């Protein structure tokens, strides 16, 4: 029988809604989502680890990651850059997610630019699908990916949250220059 992945969960308030995180016993962030999208987070976890492949256990500030995310929302943007993550997903998805972490805070890129950065310029739609399957939003900053014309396209937490996150990063980045 395969080992069940135990995930420690915590909830906390942000300026744009309550957030839930899931962290493994080694201190790696496995999932982040808004509590009003709890079902989506559970579906992503099931897709990555199997229907009965994980167990959620409430735990305050697992691995200090709640505090790291709170610092981000308080304006210490670099606090998310070194947060440890671990994801399942396909090799292609993980490649896209690594590329997302290379997008500088306060910057945006298009799906096409991500496809080009990973050496697959014709995989724009696949990049979009991988972006949408990202279980670690904000830390793996899928909100920094926009449409080719600059439109704020799809974000699992909603376009208004995406707009807030981009404004938050842009303002803080400009004030530190």
Domain assignment of residue 162, yes or no: yes
Residues of the chain with pLDDT under 70: 1, 172-177
Domain assignment of residue 123, yes or no: yes
Instruction: Look at residue 14 in the predicted model and tell me its pLDDT.
Output: 97
Instruction: Count the helices and strands in the chain (H runs, E runs).
Output: 6, 6
Domain assignment of residue 85, yes or no: no
Instruction: Look at residue 1 in the predicted model and tell me its pLDDT.
Output: 57
> Is the same domain home to 118 and 75?
no
CATH number of the structural domain spanning residue 12: 3.30.160
CA distances from 97 to 89, 130, 170 (A): 10, 8, 21
Instruction: Look at residue 172 in the predicted model and tell me its pLDDT.
Output: 62
CA distances from 87 to 25, 78, 97 (A): 14, 21, 9
pTM for the full model? 0.90
Residue with tokens 């724009």: 124
**Tokens, residue 172:** 């803080």
> Is the same domain home to 26 and 101?
no
> Is the same domain home to 97 and 161?
yes
Q: Which of 115, 142, 145, 166 is catalytic?
A: 142
| Number of independent structural domains in the chain | 2
Q: Which domain holds residue 13?
A: 5-80
> Is the same domain home to 46 and 72?
yes
Axis crossing angle, helix 91-101 with helix 124-132, rounded to the nearest 10: 80
Instruction: Look at residue 159 in the predicted model and tell me its pLDDT.
Output: 87
Is 105 assigned a catalytic role? no
Instruction: Look at residue 177 in the predicted model and tell me its pLDDT.
Output: 42
> Is the same domain home to 68 and 143?
no
Domain assignment of residue 168, yes or no: yes
Distance CA 133, CA 142 (A): 10
Instruction: Look at residue 109 in the predicted model and tell me its pLDDT.
Output: 94
Instruction: Look at residue 175 in the predicted model and tell me its pLDDT.
Output: 53
């Amino acid at each position: 029988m395969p080992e069940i992945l135990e995930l420690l969960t915590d909830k906390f308030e942000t300026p744009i809604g309550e957030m839930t995180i899931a962290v493994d016993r080694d201190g790696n962030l496995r999932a982040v989502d808004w509590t009003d999208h709890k079902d989506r987070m559970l579906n992503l976890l099931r897709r990555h680890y199997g229907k009965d492949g994980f167990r959620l256990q409430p735990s305050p500030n697992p691995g200090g990651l709640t505090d790291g995310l709170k610092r981000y929302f308080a304006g210490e943007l670099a606090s998310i850059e070194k947060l440890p993550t671990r994801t399942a997903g396909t090799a292609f998805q993980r490649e896209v997610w690594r590329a997302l972490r290379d997008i500088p805070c306060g910057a945006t890129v298009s799906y096409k630019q991500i496809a080009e950065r990973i050496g697959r310029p014709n995989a724009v739609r696949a990049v979009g699908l991988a972006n949408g399957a990202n279980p670690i939003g904000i830390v793996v900053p899928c909100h920094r990916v926009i449409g080719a014309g600059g439109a704020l396209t799809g974000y699992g937490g909603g376009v208004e949250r995406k707009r807030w996150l981009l404004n938050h990063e842009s303002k803080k980045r400009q004030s530190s220059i």
